[in-house]
Structure 1
């Protein structure tokens, strides 16, 4: 019996990218039953476009939010809608700047019959030049090559850029933490899954493109947009929290060394703008990580 698959896409004021993403999703060789598009309070023409698309394509189901809840809140709402309103077996999750190749979903699903107790399967994320997308480098396990003959790398954590979850796993571990708002919500969620004794894998021949402007990771030292700098407080807070709750003592010490000591020093030494502001943001986020204790959302 053919498995039913839904998709969750989160968007905010990036209509051009969303159009390309939906075009790629509708062209998949393995058809999607529903495509839930979480519109995070966009103020461009996203609302009108999605309302038009839902009449052209029955698969497209807009979820319009009044406010921008960030990627974390968007994925939380999208997965809740999947669990509550669909009977599909799996859900495929991505940002609106993810452009999957036509066989990306099919390549993920081909691996399912041979797997036991798996919690997620993610795609091989590339940048526009074909190189690996630095921002989406997953975290391998110590036995990362145990399924290499099947074209898969075993993981502890991965990003929300083309990742497949079984319904039963979501119902067991709950939803992404909305309070994270942005950054590290995907790491926490996938790590929560593997900590619950489910396996995660990267499928090498499932290819997607992540349409980011530059192929770099998040870096407060190199950040030039003052309006984005305050987000790094969330990055530090969320990383410290994740290592407190789900990491080892060694992981937490490493995170503290990096965020609490090395990052402030490197801001002073190497940052070319907004040094004092960046320093305050970085330190504030790291401190907040010790007091941040959001609830794990398990209700629909």
Structure 2
């Protein structure tokens, strides 16, 4: 079983260097390290160019967001390699030496799966809150000391393994998502074909600046515009769920709006609500293209 690793990067050179080194030190080697550069500054370009043919370097002409980056990376995997699996991660994802070994061990046993997700930890060893596993049984919470694989509803692109067969069937991530939710939509799309699993033995470290989840109520004003994409994309992928799931998704958005309006201590309520409602309204009319790829096509 052969694997391509895809890293999407944008102006985080020190962490990118560490992530590439971690992949190069994997106990189970990867056949290709595909780095998708979302038009980073010259220092990142110079470093990646200096690595020569030890990596496959895709420098994009503009920053098309994480969603566009993963679209391009998976496209490259399908059209320029013959590897069996693609392993997806951000540039602040640090695989452990045995991460891929443990993912592939489960892949050998399971055969038919939509995706395999790592146990994502922050730098202090606790779960990364932005990457908490979402079990298919929504009444259940997966404990931090879990040892058994668990079926998931969805997962993030922070150490996610998918097969060539699944990608050929479901297509590519939606570039138009730009940021946020592209991984949730994509893994839910895969899970409609075959179950996805959380693999607790396959740990990675997510080197976020702080271990907090995203929250429109408390995030800083400079980050507020990106919540437009969050809510627009939530409306889109929520509508793809079965009836009960669709209703639950809409109720959660409504409750978040009510919290922004009514919860004490929220600053700049008007700006936060404006972004939220603009995203929801855009989501009603959002009809992005889902691209499928021909294995014979080369780029």
Query: Does structure 1 residue 292 correspond to structure 2 residue 290?
Result: no
Q: 1:138 offset after TM fit, Å? A: 2.4
- What is aligned with 1:4? 2
SS in 2 for 1:38: strand
C-alpha RMSD of matched pairs (Å) = 1.8
1:17-56 aligned within 5 A: 17-54=15-52
Q: 1:281 offset after TM fit, Å? A: 0.2
Does the 8 Å contact 1:104/1:208 carry over to 2? yes
SS in 1 for 2:114: strand
Q: Choose which of 10, 13, 27 in structure 1 pairs with 2:11.
A: 13
Q: What is the alpha-carbon distance in structure 2 between the residues aligned to residue 14 and residue 270 of structure 1?
A: 36
- What is aligned with 2:163? 166
SS in 1 for 2:152: strand
Query: Does structure 1 residue 182 correspond to structure 2 residue 182?
Result: no
- What is aligned with 1:207? 203
1:63-212 aligned within 5 A: 63-142=58-137, 151-196=148-193, 198-212=194-208
Does the 8 Å contact 2:154/2:187 carry over to 1? yes
Instruction: Check 1:130–1:150 CA distance in 2 against 1; reply closer, same or farther (3 A cut).
Output: closer
Q: Give the TM-score normalised by the residue count of structure 2.
A: 0.92
Q: Give the TM-score normalised by the residue count of structure 1.
A: 0.91
Structure 1 unaligned segments of length 5 or more: list them: none
Q: What is the alpha-carbon distance in structure 2 between the residues aligned to residue 241 and residue 138 of structure 1?
A: 21
Give the number of aligned pairs.
288
SS in 2 for 1:41: coil
Instruction: Check 1:271–1:251 CA distance in 2 against 1; reply closer, same or farther (3 A cut).
Output: farther
**Residue range with higher mean Cα deviation, 266-275 or 68-77:** 266-275
SS in 2 for 1:230: helix
Q: 1:20 offset after TM fit, Å? A: 0.8
- What is aligned with 1:280? 274
Q: What is the alpha-carbon distance in structure 2 between the residues aligned to residue 113 and residue 166 of structure 1?
A: 12
Instruction: Check 1:185–1:70 CA distance in 2 against 1; reply closer, same or farther (3 A cut).
Output: same
Q: 1:99 offset after TM fit, Å? A: 0.4
Q: What is the alpha-carbon distance in structure 2 between the residues aligned to residue 150 and residue 279 of structure 1?
A: 41
SS in 2 for 1:183: coil
Q: 1:288 offset after TM fit, Å? A: 1.4
Q: 1:221 offset after TM fit, Å? A: 0.7
SS in 1 for 2:51: helix
Instruction: Check 1:46–1:278 CA distance in 2 against 1; reply closer, same or farther (3 A cut).
Output: same
SS in 1 for 2:82: coil
Q: 1:271 offset after TM fit, Å? A: 5.4
**Deviations, residues 6-65 of structure 1 (Å, cap 9, x unaligned):** 1100000111110110110110001111100000011251100100112xxx33111000
Q: Choose which of 224, 228, 238 in structure 1 pairs with 2:233.
A: 238
Q: 1:150 offset after TM fit, Å? A: 7.9
Instruction: Check 1:9–1:156 CA distance in 2 against 1; reply closer, same or farther (3 A cut).
Output: same
SS in 1 for 2:284: coil
Q: Choose which of 262, 266, 286 in structure 1 pairs with 2:259.
A: 266
Q: What is the alpha-carbon distance in structure 2 between the residues aligned to residue 150 and residue 113 of structure 1?
A: 18
